[in-house]
Structure 1
Amino acid sequence: MVVVIGAGVHKATHTLVAVDEVGKVLGQGVFPARREGHLRALGWARRAFKDRELVWALEDCRHLTGLLERDLLGAGQRVVRVSPKLMGTARRAGRERGKSDPIDATAVARAAQAHPDLPVARHDEASRELKLLVDRREDLVTERTRMINRLRWHLHELDPDLAPSAGSLDRAVVVTGLRERLLTLSGLVAQIAVEVLDDIGVRNAQVRDLDRRIAAAVEQAAPVLLEVPGCGPLTAAKIVGETAGIERFRSEAAYAMFTRTAPIPVWSGQTAGRVRLNRAGNRQLNCALHRIAITQVRLGGPARDYYDKKRAAGKTSTEAYRSLRRHLARTIYNTLNHNGQAAAAAPLPAAA
């Protein structure tokens, strides 16, 4: 006898609804979104359903459910992640009218029942730390880009010839030289430009420090990914962080679906055999695979041969890259799943 407990999560409170095997509501409760509230919720579930197996279904919004997920996993509970799309479908299929926290929690629980192959949450500190580091670096790079754009407007107002070449303001020698030239100028605009340039220098130092930390963490967590041609430390860190444990995927096809590289068949009339672009899944992973694909095609080798073969068969460049990303998803899955025993250096399987 399994009881699925769905959670409607918010910053202040979590609404929990328990349903049985047929989706009937057995009980519900509202608990603070704090560690003590999570312990109270766990005690409530154990007392109310002490003779049944508990499965906790959490909507996949990590910033709201991260602490609850870690507390439940620390208590030895089984936790699955339900995508918001599945929850919305289950809510629209329900008989309850309107939208409320109990309705959302019930929809999450019923969606977990209807899809028994949902990703299972698990403790993986290495992938979590890499994701935090990569996200922090991306935030800093975004802030630096905004500062660089603002600086270029100030430089254009002072003297268009002061503007450095594109993509050069991440180098210390360029920042230092530009700062010395700006100090020779007078006026408020020049003063503000120097302050913005100093902020850019601070961001550069922070990004370089994060690059070193990420490279060291990848060397420890997934060194086999660095053996894949075109996969550098930042791309490897993105893959490990977004995958969050390759063991939670039952097959390489499931992982391909998660990475948005598995095409969707089109079955309508005379269109059998055609496929449609898959727009579901993790866009970050898809982007990481695309970077690897572009690099491998540029470097040559089996990936370039496969790309040229697709182009010769009448595929567009975009379609050829989609096919290559699908093969790369298989390579990454085998590389991570076999702990380095797979042939990580081969960008494509033998059949390709």
Structure 2
Amino acid sequence: MSVIIGMDPHKRSATIEVVDERGRVLAVGRFGTDKAGYADMLAAGRKYADRVWAVEGCNGIGKHIAHRLVHDGETVLDVPAKRSAQVRVFATGNGRKTDPVDAHPVAMVALRSPDLVQVQIDADLQVLGMLADRRDELGRARTQTINRLHRLLLELLPGGAKKFLSAPQARALIATVKPRDIVGKTRRRLAVELISELEGIDKKIKAAEKNLKELVAARGSTLMELQGIGPSGAARLLADVADISRFADRDRFASWNGTAPVDASSGDQKRHRLSRAGNRRINRTLHIMAVVQLRNRTEGRAYFDAKKAAGKTSMEAIRALKRRLCNVVYARMAADQKRRQAADPGGQSGTTLQSSVTDLTPDIGPSDKPLPGPATNHPKPWCQRHLDIKGCHEREFGRVGCLVPCYVERARDPFRASDASAVVIRKEWQIMPRLYGPGHFTEDPYSQVVSPHGIPVDDLVAVLQKEIRRSRIDNAVLAAYEMFTTSTDVAQHLWRRLRLIAVEDVGMGLPLGPVLIDVLHRNFNATPGGDWMMACHAVRLLASAPKDRTSSEHADWVATKVALGEALVEVPDYAHCVHTRAGQELGRGLMQWWDNGAQVRDELPSADHRYREELIEIHRRDEAENGTAPPPSRWASATAGPYCD
């Protein structure tokens, strides 16, 4: 007869209940978890030939006893505490909560739920889990030590130390403090002890990171290749997830780790709220991954900016980013596991063929189909794609003569494929890529945002700038209004673009253009309804002004020539004056500065030189008396000008 043995585990005791296939209670018992009590419980369970143990919370309080059962060859299922609590709500007993009452829902959940996870012991994953826990403990210990040290340094040093403080920096600071009273000396001694503790913790963290990196690499995982996941994050994912195939799809995985939003719709109102459930350690790992990506120029940053441009708040955008990164991690872990299984056809530690509870020993036959693997992208090489003359641009780079074919495709989802942004193929002997000008292709985050009339915002920006260049005022104003009415963030992007146009396209045609645009922006909300009027006037001002692109062309020319090694700043002799080390070594003083360094071209004819002549006379007398050495600080306030190059 097949039975389920439900268990309510505790630290020093465990209560079991044996039920048959119909849910009838066959036996109940309470046993200790010491050596003798465990042996008695195991003997009581082995009276039934066909048995499955169901233990509540195998990743928590039930972990120690579940692993002992698996080690002794028993089949153990992990029953989530939430499921057993839901069954307990509908049980009779007027809300009584005793160990036998708790064991009964555990057994019933195991009897009626075919999707419970069978507990397997993977030695490598256990080691990774323990070391990841140790790394987290060291991180918390370091934070506590730093906080205690900051408190003491605040009392020893005026203003305290900077926020992010390392042990060498703290030791250098404490070396400058020499208190004379007994209180100060004691405080300094305690600070020195904390610095020594901090150095010891840093060494342990470094060793733990090295150990984790080696173990993750030996596991064959490529998680550390993802930006924002280090050795401890990869180890945490591997240890807590174990077998990624236990999740039917990436949505189940997101629900398990709490990155999937919770549906909170009511009636006609459709909304979702933040989930505070799920595995919080994995959620924290994904949060760290998101923060790291936001601090760098990554696809995650582009996705975050696009969400902000679409009207999301910062918190909503980062939640959306975490959900998307969850998909990335799921796909990477699934691909790694698939690769390991292909390398080892006999399977791998951590997987199981017994996953059903309805049939206690269900052997998987040839009619059972595995779950489909995650969608993978295998982009073709650029030469195999259909490249027409409009998609391929070739550009000469001066004397290097390097052709740079660039194929650009718009990426609606920056996480969908590794080559979602521009793909640029260059010959090996090219010295540097082009930095400025039309040869530079990047994915605009605003390309994923559309206006109320369905026009992509990046197209609107292109229309705005090119119509201003051509002095087509009406269409430029229409493009600006479309951007203005899309969202608050896009309206601010309009002003940022207008500042750029004022320099790049109008330039010296209206030298004060950037200042005028800034003044109009500052008066954006000066009057009710006047915000759009200010923006409209700014567009009309730039479109009607004379155009001059020489600043943009000059900047492009300089960057390209320097990159090619064809131009470099030259230092003329007159630059070596009293303000430089080279000039001082040459014995040049203020008189040489007046004769050469202070020369001005295109000076106003009406310039008044009375003050300069008097200063020259003063400096001539000073050099006659003291030589050409740099003058003392007494000159700084009286003659600040000549000492400012």
Instruction: Normalising by structure 2, report the TM-score.
Output: 0.49
1:305 and 1:202, CA in 2 relative to 1: closer, same or farther beyond 3 A? closer
Q: Higher strand fraction: Structure 1 or Structure 2?
A: 1
**CA deviation profile, 1:109-143 (whole Å, cap 9, x unmatched):** 22333433233322222222222112222222222
Q: Which amino acid aligns with 2:247?
A: F
Q: Which amino acid aligns with 2:308?
A: R
**CA deviation profile, 1:251-282 (whole Å, cap 9, x unmatched):** 3232121111223334532135x333332211
- Partner residue, 1:12: 12
- Partner residue, 1:339: 336
Q: Distance in 1 between matches of 2:110 and 2:66?
A: 15
C-alpha displacement of 1:178: 4.1
- Partner residue, 1:174: 169
Secondary structure in structure 1 of the residue aligned to 2:118: coil
- Partner residue, 1:68: 65
- Partner residue, 2:204: 206
Map 1:154-303 to 2 at 5 A.
154-160=152-158, 163-169=160-166, 171=167, 173-178=168-173, 180-181=175-176, 187=182, 188-272=186-270, 274-303=271-300
Instruction: Normalising by structure 1, report the TM-score.
Output: 0.85
C-alpha displacement of 1:224: 0.8
Q: Which amino acid aligns with 1:271?
A: Q
What 5-or-longer segments of structure 1 have no aligned partner? none
Q: Is residue 92 of structure 1 aligned with residue 89 of structure 2?
A: yes
What 5-or-longer segments of structure 2 have no aligned partner? 340-373, 379-412, 421-447, 449-645
Q: Is residue 78 of structure 1 aligned with residue 75 of structure 2?
A: yes
**CA deviation profile, 1:298-333 (whole Å, cap 9, x unmatched):** 434443343333333332232232223223222222
C-alpha displacement of 1:339: 1.7
**CA deviation profile, 1:5-39 (whole Å, cap 9, x unmatched):** 22111221111112233433221222221355434
Q: Distance in 2 between matches of 1:204 and 1:229?
A: 23
Q: Distance in 1 between matches of 2:133 and 2:415?
A: 29
Q: Distance in 1 between matches of 2:110 and 2:84?
A: 9
Q: Higher helix fraction: Structure 1 or Structure 2?
A: 1
Checking the alignment, whether the CA contact within 8 Å between 1:227 and 1:344 is kept in structure 2 is: no
Checking the alignment, whether the CA contact within 8 Å between 1:82 and 1:112 is kept in structure 2 is: yes
Worse overlay, 99-108 or 228-237: 228-237
C-alpha displacement of 1:69: 1.5
Q: Distance in 1 between matches of 2:65 and 2:377?
A: 36
- Partner residue, 1:34: 34
1:35 and 1:323, CA in 2 relative to 1: closer, same or farther beyond 3 A? farther
1:70 and 1:191, CA in 2 relative to 1: closer, same or farther beyond 3 A? same
| CA-atom RMSD in angstroms | 3.0
Q: Distance in 1 between matches of 2:181 and 2:209?
A: 36
Secondary structure in structure 1 of the residue aligned to 2:336: coil
- Partner residue, 1:349: 416
**CA deviation profile, 1:128-170 (whole Å, cap 9, x unmatched):** 2222112222222222322322222223333336x4322223x
Map 1:136-147 to 2 at 5 A.
136-147=134-145
Q: Distance in 2 between matches of 1:296 and 1:144?
A: 24
1:36 and 1:94, CA in 2 relative to 1: closer, same or farther beyond 3 A? same
Q: Is residue 112 of structure 1 aligned with residue 179 of structure 2?
A: no
1:186 and 1:193, CA in 2 relative to 1: closer, same or farther beyond 3 A? farther
1:189 and 1:302, CA in 2 relative to 1: closer, same or farther beyond 3 A? closer
Q: Distance in 2 between matches of 1:281 and 1:247?
A: 18
Secondary structure in structure 2 of the residue aligned to 1:223: coil
Secondary structure in structure 2 of the residue aligned to 1:299: coil
Worse overlay, 179-188 or 121-130: 179-188
Q: Which amino acid aligns with 2:10?
A: H
1:319 and 1:35, CA in 2 relative to 1: closer, same or farther beyond 3 A? farther
Highest relative contact order (Cα 8 Å, sep 6+), 1 or 2? 1
Checking the alignment, whether the CA contact within 8 Å between 1:297 and 1:303 is kept in structure 2 is: yes
Q: Is residue 23 of structure 1 aligned with residue 20 of structure 2?
A: no
Secondary structure in structure 1 of the residue aligned to 2:117: coil
Larger radius of gyration: 2
Secondary structure in structure 2 of the residue aligned to 1:229: coil
Checking the alignment, whether the CA contact within 8 Å between 1:14 and 1:33 is kept in structure 2 is: yes
**CA deviation profile, 1:44-102 (whole Å, cap 9, x unmatched):** 2121x22x3x2222221645322212122223333222222222222222113421111
1:233 and 1:105, CA in 2 relative to 1: closer, same or farther beyond 3 A? same
Q: Distance in 1 between matches of 2:260 and 2:11?
A: 35
C-alpha displacement of 1:179: 5.1
Checking the alignment, whether the CA contact within 8 Å between 2:171 and 2:195 is kept in structure 1 is: no
1:347 and 1:258, CA in 2 relative to 1: closer, same or farther beyond 3 A? farther
Checking the alignment, whether the CA contact within 8 Å between 2:52 and 2:75 is kept in structure 1 is: yes
Checking the alignment, whether the CA contact within 8 Å between 2:52 and 2:74 is kept in structure 1 is: yes
Secondary structure in structure 2 of the residue aligned to 1:8: strand
Q: Is residue 329 of structure 1 aligned with residue 326 of structure 2?
A: yes
Secondary structure in structure 2 of the residue aligned to 1:315: coil
Q: Which amino acid aligns with 2:64?
A: L
C-alpha displacement of 1:225: 0.4
Aligned positions, number: 345
Q: Distance in 2 between matches of 1:222 and 1:35?
A: 38
From 101, 104, 108, give the equivalent of 1:103. 101
Q: Distance in 2 between matches of 1:38 and 1:224?
A: 41
Q: Which amino acid aligns with 1:286?
A: N
- Partner residue, 2:368: none
Q: Which amino acid aligns with 2:28?
A: Q
